[in-house]
Each structure stands twice: as structure tokens, then as C-alpha cells.
Amino acid sequence: MAELSEQNSASGESASGAAESAFSGSFAAYTAGLAFALLLTGASFLVSQTSLLWAPGVAAGLAVLAIAQMGVHLVFFLHIGTGSDNTNTVLALAFGVLVVTLVVSGSLWIMANLNANMLPPSAIMEMQR
């Protein structure tokens, strides 16, 4: 038993790290993730369909619930945690978020620029006569 704990401490693993990795792929972890996801989904429908929140605050409430939902998916289903072995996974996720942000913001910028430089509909109709 002492030899096993010496090997774990020499390899950088701790008892809590082993328990964390055992929990991260277990049936209980997936069930807890599913329960949290269903709870957050139900809360989103509740917020959007009732007057539980002040009307201008509904969008902010839904945004908070969406971010919480993403966190649940990252932790419980994609197993992205704070461990040292997840560095590459987190970097790949950050790069993916960067690419999506650039594509979306670039598209919005192009559409806004096109909208600003477009002729009004009345001028287009006069050109066609």
C-alpha cells in the first residue's frame, strides 16, 4: 500500500486526482451532468415563458443560464477541468472559441458595412425605371 502511494506521489498523481479521474467518466458523473443540463433547460423555458424576471432582464437571464449550460457540458460531458493533463484540450477549446469569434464578428462587421453603403430602396427603384 505504501509502495503504491509512493509511486503515485512520484508520478505527480495524488489520491484526490485519482478519485477525480474515476468520477469524471462514471455513470454518476454523466447522470449528474444530465440532471444539471435538464434543470438549466427547464429554468430557461421557465424564464422565457413566464413573468418571473423583469421583461428587460429576460435576455440577461437567458444569457447567464446559457453560459451555465456551457459550463455543465464542458465539465461533465467533455471532461475539461483544471488538471495539468487538460492543457492541450483547453488550448484547443480556446483556439476554437477564437476562430468562431473572428468569423462571427467579421460577418457582422461586413454586414454592417454593406448596410451603411447600400442605396436606399427608393433610389434602387428609380434606377430601374
Burial class of residue 65 (count of CB atoms within 10 Å of its CB; 0-12, 13-18, 19+): buried
Same domain membership, residue 55 and residue 4: yes
pLDDT for 69-79, tens place per residue? Answer: 999 999 999 88
pLDDT for 1-17, tens place per residue? Answer: 444 444 444 444 454 55
DSSP 77: I
Same domain membership, residue 68 and residue 118: no
Q: What is the largest CA-CA distance in the chain?
A: 92
What does the block give as the cell for 47? 424564464
- Domain range for 118 is 86-129
Same domain membership, residue 93 and residue 70: no
Same domain membership, residue 93 and residue 62: no
Alpha-carbon distances, residue 85 vs 12, 20, 43, 91 (angstroms): 11, 12, 33, 12
Same domain membership, residue 111 and residue 59: no
User: Vertex 12, ends 83 and 32: CA angle to 5°?
Assistant: 35
Question: How many domains is the chain built from?
Answer: 2
Same domain membership, residue 91 and residue 74: no
Residue segments in the chain with a per-residue pLDDT below the cut of 70: 1-24
The mean predicted confidence, pLDDT, of the chain is 85
Same domain membership, residue 66 and residue 95: no
